[in-house]
Amino acid sequence: MSEDDSIYRELDVTPVVNAAGTKTRIGGSRIRPGALDAMRRAADEFVEIGDLEARASTSIADVTGAEAGYVTSGASAGLLLCAAAAIAGHDVGVMNALPDTSDVPSEIVMPRTHRTGYDHAFRTAGASIVDVGTNDRYLGTGATDVEPWQLDRAITDETVAVGYIEKSYTQPPLASVVEVAHRNDVPVIVDAAAEVPPRENLSAFIETGADMVVFSGGKGIRGPQTTGFVAGKREYVASIAAQHLDMHVANDLWEPPTDLIDRERFDGVPRQGIGRPLKVGKEELVGAIRALELFVEEDHGRLEAKWIDLAEAMAERLAETGLGVRVTSPNGTSVAPEVVVDVEATGVGTNATELARALRDEDPRVYVGTDDLSDGKIVVNPMCLDESEAEYVIDRIVANVE
Ligand SMILES: *Cc1c(COP(=O)(O)O)cnc(C)c1O
């Protein structure tokens, strides 16, 4: 961060120092300089967007092991498009009717414990969600979230897909869900938005048998904020493309890239589909392709070591002031180590919520992780901090607990 040439200062908007990790509401991540440079160059020329998506498909297929891929305007947009593809397939009539699904199967079955606010994207495409199972796992009765037979029963002629959110804590394992879904001839859509790094996760869920996997482009991959990736089977990616690309084109002139779309399978041109409001510009597309390439080439061991060093240095300074701190290993909710500050246990003259609020009122504003406020804890995440920012964050925490 350079205070001197802050564009946000210029716009009279207070900038944020991000100690919370890759959170969309405070700007996600720092875009890779190489991706930004590519975007600047992309802005100067014109290109057929379908051709560029076909090129992106090749890159995504390479790194994920999927048949094809597609750049979307975020993981959330990807979920919407996956649902649209599962519902409409190559049927131009259904595509044009979406989100009206009154005449066609449109149910997405999900384990109940996989429901999140993000699955609104499925419903936006016209799907309805059928959630099954319970949240009994934590009762200690031996019950699990959902048994394979329960998923099996829930899949009917109305089902178009099974939805799955990938987190280290989600149950049942993806492999068993894939098995049930495929036995019933329906695809599995995996929300893996925040699961990279590690790099292996780019291919892990495809290897396990998922039909469509969604990643965020603006989190750990550090592409443009308004990008995401779908990796999956060619037939679904073709349907996504047909429902996303701008389709103001004369019937006889419609020659979509053959790598992406098999023209023969469409009765006509699907006009401005359900995905059209989720447009991706040439700049974002190029930025996403380049960021993905750079992410794959990156030395992740070194990156993690850097995060650990930063987290430990911050923890040490906080501990010196008598605060109860602990450094976590990368876990289910964060791909980076984090510094957990136990505000409550330390008995300082504030509590976690007050401290988080006071930090946000600083100038620049400081955002820390707030998922553990109810336990009296704030969390400092090193992913989006450089050394001087980390120092500022610690200074402001110390100042606010004294
Ligand atoms: C961040 C996130 C999304 C949304 O990703 P965007 O790229 O911001 O659209 C969806 N699902 C989960 C689990 C996420 O963490």
Domain assignment present for 1? no
- Percent of the chain whose predicted confidence (pLDDT) is above 70: 99
- Please indicate, yes or no, whether residues 92 and 164 belong to a single structural domain of this protein: yes
Query: Total domain count for the chain?
Result: 2
Cα 215 to middle of ligand 1, angstroms = 8
- Please indicate, yes or no, whether residues 178 and 270 belong to a single structural domain of this protein: yes
Opening angle at CA 295, ends 246 and 193, nearest 5 = 60
Provide the 3-class DSSP secondary structure of residue 150: helix
Query: How many beta carbons lie within 10 A of that of residue 371, not counting itself?
Result: 13
Give the residue, by CA position, lying nearest to ligand 1 atom 13: 193
Q: Which residues line ligand 1 (CB under 6 A)?
A: 24, 74-76, 116, 118, 165, 191, 193-194, 216, 218, 228
Structure tokens at 80: 């919407």
Opening angle at CA 168, ends 172 and 228, nearest 5 = 105
Provide the 3-class DSSP secondary structure of residue 191: strand
Domain end position, chosen among 255, 272, 297: 297
Which atom number of ligand 1 is nearest to the Cα of residue 167?
Answer: 13
- Please indicate, yes or no, whether residues 180 and 293 belong to a single structural domain of this protein: yes
Domain assignment present for 71? yes
Report CA dihedral (326, 329, 335, 339) to the nearest 10 degrees.
10
**Residue pLDDT, tens place only, 305-351:** 999 999 999 999 999 988 999 999 876 667 789 999 999 888 788 89
Cα 229 to middle of ligand 1, angstroms = 11
- Please indicate, yes or no, whether residues 278 and 345 belong to a single structural domain of this protein: no
Tell me if the bond preceding 364 is cis, omega within 30° of 0.
yes
**Residue pLDDT, tens place only, 232-280:** 999 999 999 999 999 988 888 988 999 999 999 998 999 999 999 999 9
Determine contact, residues 248/49, Cβ cutoff 8 Å: no
Confidence (pLDDT) at 333: 67
- Please indicate, yes or no, whether residues 98 and 230 belong to a single structural domain of this protein: yes
- Please indicate, yes or no, whether residues 229 and 320 belong to a single structural domain of this protein: no
Cα 158 to middle of ligand 1, angstroms = 27
CATH code of 255's domain: 3.40.640.10
**Residue pLDDT, tens place only, 167-177:** 888 889 999 99
- Please indicate, yes or no, whether residues 256 and 359 belong to a single structural domain of this protein: no
Range of the domain at 374: 7-28+299-401
Domain end position, chosen among 297, 318, 333: 297
Chain centroid to CA 124: 17
Domain assignment present for 2? no
Query: Which has the higher per-residue pLDDT, 347 or 381?
Result: 381
Beta bridge partners of 215: 229
What is the overall mean pLDDT for the chain?
A: 94
Structure tokens at 16: 């944020």
- Please indicate, yes or no, whether residues 24 and 134 belong to a single structural domain of this protein: no
CATH code of 306's domain: 3.90.1150.180
- Which residue shows structure tokens 């919520």? 353
Cα 74 to middle of ligand 1, angstroms = 7
Domain end position, chosen among 275, 297, 319: 297
Structure tokens at 368: 């820390």
- Please indicate, yes or no, whether residues 373 and 264 belong to a single structural domain of this protein: no
- Please indicate, yes or no, whether residues 324 and 188 belong to a single structural domain of this protein: no
Against a cut of 0.85, is the pTM above it?
Answer: yes
**β-pair type (339-342, 324-327):** antiparallel
Confidence (pLDDT) at 345: 83
Determine contact, residues 215/59, Cβ cutoff 8 Å: no
- Please indicate, yes or no, whether residues 194 and 255 belong to a single structural domain of this protein: yes
